[in-house]
Amino acid sequence: MNNRRKFLKHVGLGSGLLITQPGFAFADQKADLKSQGKESEAVFANRTLKTDILIAGGGMAGVCAALAAARNGAKVVLIQNRSRLGGNASSEIRMHISGASTLQQVWRETGILEELVLTEAVTNPQVCYEMFDYVLYDKVHSNKNITLLLDTALFDVETQGDNVQLIRAYCSQTEELYEISATYFADCTGDATLAALAGAEFMRGREAKSKWNESLGQDKPDDVNMGSSLMFQARKHDRPMPFVAPSWARKYTFKDFVLRRSNAYDY
């Protein structure tokens, strides 16, 4: 686990090598300048924040968690490594918000998530996807208990024993390095970045209902994971619209997937 943690710190799981490495470079640069009495010449400004709850990841889970905590009186710092909130549901990816409602049974998503969806339905009659970004931003930004840091990438976690003490993140657009301590930390990143950097234990697949005493769970555990999604949009034209793939495009055949396990479901 220690080797894995060190590796993740240097590659920045979920953020990309080219994004996280400058954080280390500028931190080292500041230390060097400070030793030379030239601390003011450091490229990145250093910001130290302290809050009740630090939430890493501004997708739907992170947004709902931030709003819930803030509405209950907690001070929240929400960091998101993109320029907008929503994660896969934002205008960048445009995936539908799917949950219990996709089972087409008696359950549906309620609470804060339903509030966001209904607000968007009222304010966005033109069904413009970018408007959903605005709805999320408005809900978060309007709450005075939430400090929102967009374009801010988590790259390091400091722990003491089994407890997270603080995280480090940076924003290249504003040239700021953040050191944020909190009483509680919530990992709402798509790749469990905070938990992985902290060295937390993890599992793959779906657990049996006996694991957490979940009556609606499955009887036996398995290694089924959520797959990747490709979303296509089509528009009808009055004439053929040919497409010629560029020379660098990779050509796939069924042979490429012979050894790849596929979790296929019938919807």
- Indicate if the pLDDT at residue 16 is higher than 90: no
Domains of the chain in start order, with CATH, are 2-86+145-197 (3.50.50.60)
Q: How far apart are CA 100 and CA 87, in angstroms?
A: 19
Beta bridge pairs of residue 254: none
Residue-wise pLDDT tens digits, 132-175 = 999 999 999 999 999 999 999 999 999 999 899 999 999 999 99
- Indicate if the pLDDT at residue 229 is higher than 70: no
- Indicate if the pLDDT at residue 244 is higher than 80: yes
pLDDT of residue 41: 55
Question: Which DSSP string do the residues of 87-122 spell out, in sequence order?
Answer: GGGSTTT-----SGGGG-SS----HHHHHHHHHHHH
Residue-wise pLDDT tens digits, 38-65 = 555 567 899 999 999 999 999 999 999 9
Q: Are 123 and 131 in contact (CB under 8 A)?
A: yes
pLDDT of residue 34: 60
Q: How far apart are CA 133 and CA 71, in angstroms?
A: 20
Q: How far apart are CA 189 and CA 112, in angstroms?
A: 19
How much is the average pLDDT of 228-243?
A: 84
How much is the average pLDDT of 92-120?
A: 85
Name which of 183, 173, 134, 125 is nearest 152 in CA terms: 173
Distance from the Cα of residue 223 to its chain's centroid: 22
Q: Are 97 and 109 in contact (CB under 8 A)?
A: yes
